Amino acid sequence: MVRVRVPTPLRKFTQGADEVSAQGNTVRALMEDLERQFPGMKERICDETGKVRRFVNVYVNGDDIRFLQNLETSIGEGDNISIVPAIAGGL
């Protein structure tokens, strides 16, 4: 199990929770588990081809997965995942 921090715009899927638990050996598997638990969440994070949308950053223990192995980045017990909008909406 890993902890996933959820940004405000996605909390409507998690009943307002800012952090949830999920499982998977890779970020891709984690996304599938998040979708299973919180239907509708994955398509907000990933585009129609399955890639993480450009305006979303996913961090594993503080590192952007774009600089790791993207969706194939391995994750393990106790890792901290954050889903962060790439920009701060609202002026």
Interface residues with other proteins (CB under 8 A)?
5-10, 12, 18, 44-45, 47, 53-57, 66, 82-91
Would you call 31 helix, strand, or coil by DSSP?
helix
Nearby residues of 19 by Cβ (< 8 Å), 6 or more positions away: 3, 4, 5, 6
Nearer to other proteins, 6 or 75 (CB): 6
- CB nearer to other proteins: pick between 78 and 87: 87
- Please state the closest distance from residue 46 (CB atom) to other proteins, in A: 12
CA angle, corner 25, sides to 5 and 20, nearest 5? 20
CB of 5 or CB of 26, closer to other proteins? 5
